[in-house]
Amino acid sequence: MESPKEIYYAAMVELGGGNYRGIQRGDASIGLEPLVLFDDASAPKAERSTMALKPEDVSADRVRREIAAKREAYATFAQIPEQVFCGAAQ
């Protein structure tokens, strides 16, 4: 059963246009903070990339901004010609 926090995170992610993927638990003993995981609900499956926010940063607006930034990164990357290297450098 989902906790009230998870219900809140899922709702904020969905309102922001994402797919809620869960919470990555942190480990305070090594300084690892928990993260809320999500991806872009409208992206083709092959272009979905998991994004993460700290729980205190989760809002529908922040999810929208993260998704927009990821889309921009994909668009920029798509414009870079592929380089293929054959053989060892001489």
Per-domain residue ranges of the chain: 4-78
Largest CA distance in the chain: 61
CA distance 62 to 16: 8
Partners of 10 in the β-ladder: none
Q: Is the pTM of this model over 0.95?
A: no
Q: What is the pLDDT along the chain (90 residues), one digit of tens a residue?
A: 589 999 999 999 999 999 999 999 999 999 999 999 999 999 988 878 999 999 999 999 999 999 999 999 888 888 887 777 676 655
